[in-house]
Chain A
């Protein structure tokens, strides 16, 4: 595996790792790792560093919904144009083109259910080429990006075993 790929795997798991730590873990040196990371950023491979937050434990009432869309593909552009029109809205967190019964999956975050419902009713479903929408509100997040949200597995190993 190339060094850049190993670095990506480590950052994917924990983006707070410093180039120094990563260098020790991979038997490389700090400069090389820092340069590789800068290069990955320049190439648009490493696009950002997001925090995993369990909003349920805060005072925020933030709501998330997954919306399945059926869309008529456009000549010469397929689904790309519609997808672009959708992802330009700031409340849209993710847009995926999917196989199966629907074409696009849109993930929306809003301050409350009503604002999401209105966005779907007024903006998404009235959009040209959108045939239908199905909205699923997220009631509870169990696991996201490999992280279990309410993990009750504890380290119950003895302090010392030989």
Chain B
């Protein structure tokens, strides 16, 4: 048999990551300083880890309910009300998932019919496009630009909507740009969507990491609750990436469809992680405040340094990334990153990894100690100004 003939054409149609070559070079270079990771440098706060350990000691090692431990869903519900003023019923509007990633996947599969168009503002996280394709949908990228602070503008949204549009992905605070959508920005988007049947998939995994302003969920705006699905999780806010725990909330009709997919594909999220997460929500507000303040200090330092060395860097006020422009160097993102790595042993991510509109930029994460950041920034400065 020819093994290539058995591969699903849909799965085969997903292009491999365009920066695979760059990854290969990075992974061979052991002594590089990296500003390349998309996860906190903090270890999960000890009280949260201890709650996970305690649940193991007690023998809580079985499946939980498909939707997740009820206590956890209740805490998620309280948390969303406390922080963002939105109400979700823990019994039928919340599913605990394996990271935000699973939540994105089941949300898309729950609403997309063959040929449905999914609007994806770019640059953005890499999974929206492939998940759309795997669900049978058609990804429609919307370019956002540094001039607009990488916000989704009402004009760009209007221009992209067709009768086939089913879903709008709203990836803010944004990875990789650090861009945010504040309340007045969201109002303009909501005004357009209210007239349509478009569902919003609001990926709010970085909601806790905004600087100088509070995150607002589009679901809290009038007329948006019934058409919005919120994706969130514990990875970024509580430094819990390896625990693989997220959740999805939304209208109960959509949640019940997602639950079917989740139930057959996943069964339930890891129980240990769920017990740790209960502690995170009950006793973790101070941890978030502490980490946010640390990130904020680093953020200012990094933005200032990039601008001073001549790489224009817009004032990112969300997540833990900056997305400076490297257009002044005349290099492509890939070239820049490869040469920087070879020349100065600093790893950053080429902007085009996050969509074509990311070309001409690099993503640098500030999930590193000040010492590490300072050294890396000095080397980047040397690289472009030598």
Contacts and interface: CB of A to CB of B under 8 A. Distances in A.
Contacts of A10: 297
A21 B32 CA distance: 23
Contacts of B36: 159-161
Interface residues of B, number: 27
Contacts of B37: 157-161
A36 B357 CA distance: 44
B73 interface: no
B260 interface: no
Interface string A1-20: 00000000010001001000
A26 interface: yes
A16 to B, nearest CB: 9
A162 B126 contact: yes
B353 A162 contact: yes
B37 to A, nearest CB: 5
Given A24-B301, A25-B298, A25-B370, A161 B27 contact: no
Given A25-B370, A153-B43, A155-B41, A162 B349 contact: yes
18 contacts: A21-B301, A21-B374, A24-B300, A24-B301, A25-B301, A26-B300, A155-B41, A157-B39, A159-B26, A159-B32, A159-B34, A159-B37, A159-B347, A160-B26, A160-B34, A161-B39, A162-B38, A162-B125
Contacts of A155: 41
A151 B256 CA distance: 46
A157 B365 CA distance: 13
The 8 closest A-B pairs by CB, nearest first: A160-B36, A25-B297, A24-B301, A159-B34, A24-B304, A161-B38, A25-B301, A157-B37
Contact of B41 (A24, A27, A157, A158): A157
Contacts of A157: 37, 39, 41
Interface of A: 10, 14, 17, 21, 24-27, 153, 155, 157-162
Nearest to B43: A153
Contacts of B353: 162
B210 to A, nearest CB: 16
A125 B347 CA distance: 61
B305 interface: yes
A159 B345 CA distance: 12
A14 B297 CA distance: 13
B176 to A, nearest CB: 8
A27 B297 CA distance: 8
B344 to A, nearest CB: 15
Nearest to B41: A155
A52 to B, nearest CB: 15
Contacts of A161: 36-39
Nearest to B303: A24
A79 B93 CA distance: 62
Given A21-B301, A159-B32, A160-B37, 4 more contacts: A24-B301, A24-B304, A27-B300, A153-B43
B54 interface: no
Contacts of A24: 300-301, 304-305
B23 interface: yes
Contacts of B347: 159-160
Contacts of B43: 153
Interface string B277-321: 000000000000000000001101100110000000000000000
B337 to A, nearest CB: 10
Contacts of A162: 38, 125-126, 175, 349, 353-354
